């Protein structure tokens, strides 16, 4: 069982499939027993010094630059040192950002718990970051420590959601959305960097004895990236999971029809796609059933983007053709600044754009069409706000109290956390789904035909043609 979180339908499902194969399990407890943690007391000075460092956008090229697994020992050490060179500053930015929230908000026990988790992580990583990892023994210890840290942060979203719900008298919904949007985008990157090293570690030559499955032939994975990801397969898997939840709650489930090009494959991060599709299907299932339209299929169309679409700008319902901005990745510190009025000259300029790889595959648009009645005009203006939900508030409180929340697909890069047994709850599905989509230059657009149904367009860019990348590497 991966990590130490309680089991849930989704978690079990994810763990049975691709993701966990590449990250064999270290539990937090095992780590602590085998290697006592060396931590350093982090001072405010350490934090400000690190937080003053500019963050650079993360590219998918960064994630694949150490080569295709199995990695040699030198490649693996380079990956570990690269990871260590990036994480402390990113953690310090998160700490500063939390500290910049109004004091009464950050004093909330849930929010301060998250702040303390970041301090703990930074204290743990700093002693490692102060030297270079030069041998495998240290690399193993470092990886165990990092697996523990990744686990420590796995429930962040439900804890923050609870904190902000409790503190809602003291902070406006707009400010919560602004903070969470930046914070959770930044968190996607931080987790990705850590998880990429964990995944590479377990698929590298020196540690191959612990690889169990997948020994029959070369893997399509480079760490967390699947170079032959088939969106239709992910849709089917998410359909099964969401369908089970839907039947449990409502006793019925709509069926999903996949059309377009179901055989299309591209290179992307499966857990990100799983998270987004699960959230979009949950919304479509709920609307369809609540409107009594479960006999009408939910239609999912897989539409690969044309090869030359990378050069077109800003047309259509998605924004797939634009570059990636620092806002997409939550590294501008704009939200923190809005609370303090401080300006920050340390972040890279916000008009700096990047592309995943110079030679990127265009990617895919997935349209999810339901007959669930659409979204009313007054609600439509709020669907991207964190915490906006038409689910009733008592149910939301119950969801939080029971610790289930919206933490789908949490074993890995997903929001992280506990179980998942509800089709709706906190109003995080759309904004967080969009954060995942935009992180590497994709997008989500919602078009509602009020009184009829909803079309959601999810666009994702491919991460690049691996052969071409490898030729250049």
Ligand X SMILES: Nc1ncnc2c1ncn2[C@@H]1O[C@H](COP(=O)(O)OP(=O)(O)OP(=O)(O)O)[C@@H](O)[C@H]1O
- The residue (of 248 and 358) whose beta carbon lies closer to ligand X is 248
CB of 368 to Mg ion, least distance (A): 12
Among 88, 429, 441, 443, binds Mg ion (CB under 5 A): 429
Closest-by-Cβ residue to ligand X is: 429
CB of 330 to ligand X, least distance (A): 18
Given ligand X, Mg ion, none, residue 454, with its beta carbon under 5 to 8 Å by kind, binds ligand X
CB of 459 to ligand X, least distance (A): 17
CB of 161 to ligand X, least distance (A): 9
CB atoms closer than 10 angstroms to residue 2: 20
Closest-by-Cβ residue to Mg ion is: 429
CB of 209 to ligand X, least distance (A): 41
**What is the enclosing helix (H) or strand (E) of 327?**
none
Given ligand X, Mg ion, none, residue 428, with its beta carbon under 5 to 8 Å by kind, binds ligand X
Residues in contact with ligand X by the rule CB under 6 A: 279, 283-284, 287, 370, 372, 375, 379, 383, 388-391, 406, 424-430, 454
439, 188 Cβ separation under 8 angstroms: yes
- The residue (of 223 and 433) whose beta carbon lies closer to ligand X is 433
CB of 66 to Mg ion, least distance (A): 36
- Exposed / middle / buried, residue 279 (Cβ in 10 Å: 0-12, 13-18, 19+): buried
**What is the enclosing helix (H) or strand (E) of 52?**
none
Given Mg ion, ligand X, none, residue 426, with its beta carbon under 5 to 8 Å by kind, binds ligand X
CB of 385 to ligand X, least distance (A): 8
CB of 278 to ligand X, least distance (A): 9
- Rounded CA-CA distance 308/312 in Å is 8
How many Cα neighbours within 13 Å face the side chain of 28?
A: 10
- The residue (of 158 and 203) whose beta carbon lies closer to Mg ion is 158
- The residue (of 170 and 391) whose beta carbon lies closer to ligand X is 391
Extended beta strands in 244-403, E state: 256-260, 266-268, 298-304, 364-370
CB of 423 to ligand X, least distance (A): 7
Given ligand X, Mg ion, none, residue 326, with its beta carbon under 5 to 8 Å by kind, binds none
Q: Which residues of 214-241 are buried (b: 16+ CB within 10 A; e: fewer)?
A: eeeeebbbbbbbbbebbbbbbbebbbeb
Given ligand X, Mg ion, none, residue 39, with its beta carbon under 5 to 8 Å by kind, binds none
Given ligand X, Mg ion, none, residue 347, with its beta carbon under 5 to 8 Å by kind, binds none
Could you give the angle at the alpha carbon of 104 between the alpha carbons of 102 and 108, nearest 5°? 115
- The residue (of 21 and 369) whose beta carbon lies closer to Mg ion is 369
- The residue (of 283 and 329) whose beta carbon lies closer to Mg ion is 283
Q: How far is CA 232 from CA 265, 273, 274, 444, in A?
A: 9, 11, 11, 17
Given ligand X, Mg ion, none, residue 284, with its beta carbon under 5 to 8 Å by kind, binds ligand X
- Rounded CA-CA distance 265/387 in Å is 34
- The residue (of 170 and 388) whose beta carbon lies closer to ligand X is 388
C-alpha gyration radius of the chain: 21
- The residue (of 126 and 456) whose beta carbon lies closer to ligand X is 456
DSSP per-residue letters across 103-156: HHHHTSHHHHHHHHHHHHHHHHHHHHHTS---SHHHHHHHHHHHHHHHHHTTTH
- The residue (of 159 and 375) whose beta carbon lies closer to ligand X is 375
- Rounded CA-CA distance 253/340 in Å is 48
Query: Which residues have a Cβ under 8 Å from the Cβ of 363 and sit 6 or more positions away?
Result: 266, 268, 304, 305, 320, 442, 459, 460, 461, 462
Residues 265-304, interacting with Mg ion (CB under 5 A): 283
Could you give the angle at the alpha carbon of 293 between the alpha carbons of 451 and 286, nearest 5°? 85
Given Mg ion, ligand X, none, residue 101, with its beta carbon under 5 to 8 Å by kind, binds none
| Interstrand relation of 298-304 and 256-260 (parallel, antiparallel or unpaired) | parallel
How many residues at the interface with Mg ion, by CB under 5 A?
3
- The residue (of 319 and 389) whose beta carbon lies closer to ligand X is 389
Which chain residues interact with Mg ion by CB under 5 A?
283, 424, 429
């Amino acid at each position: 069982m991966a990590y130490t979180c309680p089991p849930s339908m989704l978690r079990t499902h994810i763990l049975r499939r691709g993701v966990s194969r590449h990250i064999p399990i270290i539990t937090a407890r095992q780590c602590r027993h085998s290697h006592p943690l060396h931590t350093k007391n982090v001072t405010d000075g350490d934090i400000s010094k690190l937080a003053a460092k500019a963050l650079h956008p993360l590219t998918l090229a960064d994630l694949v630059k150490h080569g295709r697994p199995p990695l040699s020992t030198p490649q693996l050490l380079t990956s570990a040192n690269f990871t260590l060179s990036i994480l402390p500053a990113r953690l310090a930015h998160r700490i500063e950002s939390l500290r910049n929230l109004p004091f009464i908000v950050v004093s909330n026990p849930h929010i301060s718990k998250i702040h303390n988790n970041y301090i703990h992580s930074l204290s743990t990583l700093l002693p490692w970051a102060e030297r270079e990892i030069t041998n495998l023994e240290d690399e193993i210890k470092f990886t165990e420590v990092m697996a523990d840290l990744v686990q420590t942060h796995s429930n962040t979203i439900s804890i923050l959601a609870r904190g902000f719900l409790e503190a809602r008298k003291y902070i406006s919904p707009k400010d919560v959305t602004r903070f969470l949007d930046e914070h959770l985008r930044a968190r996607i990157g931080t987790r990705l960097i850590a998880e990429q090293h964990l995944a590479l570690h377990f698929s590298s030559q020196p540690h191959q004895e612990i690889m169990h499955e997948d020994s029959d032939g070369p893997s399509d994975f480079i760490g967390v990236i699947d170079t032959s990801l088939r969106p239709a397969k992910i849709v089917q898997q998410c359909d099964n999971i969401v369908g089970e939840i839907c039947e449990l709650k409502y006793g019925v489930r709509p069926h999903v029809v996949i059309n377009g090009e179901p055989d299309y494959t591209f290179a992307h991060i499966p857990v990100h796609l799983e998270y987004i599709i699960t959230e979009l299907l949950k919304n479509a299932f709920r609307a369809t059933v609540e409107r009594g339209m479960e006999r009408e299929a939910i239609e999912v169309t897989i539409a690969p983007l044309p090869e030359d679409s990378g050069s077109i700008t800003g047309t259509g319902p998605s924004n797939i053709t634009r570059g990636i901005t620092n806002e997409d990745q939550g590294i501008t510190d704009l939200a923190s600044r809005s609370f303090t009025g401080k300006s920050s000259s340390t972040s890279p300029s916000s008009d700096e754009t990047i592309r995943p790889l110079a030679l990127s595959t265009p990617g895919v648009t997935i349209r999810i069409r339901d007959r669930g009645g659409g979204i009313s005009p007054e609600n439509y203006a709020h669907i991207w706000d964190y915490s906006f939900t038409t689910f009733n508030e008592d149910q939301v409180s119950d969801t939080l109290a029971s610790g289930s929340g919206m933490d789908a697909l949490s074993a890995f890069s997903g929001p992280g956390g506990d179980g998942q047994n509800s089709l709706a709850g906190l109003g995080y599905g759309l904004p967080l789904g969009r954060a995942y989509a935009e992180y590497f230059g994709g997008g989500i657009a919602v078009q509602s035909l009020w009184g009829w149904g909803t079309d959601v367009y999810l666009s994702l860019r491919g991460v690049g043609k691996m052969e071409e990348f490898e030729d250049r590497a």
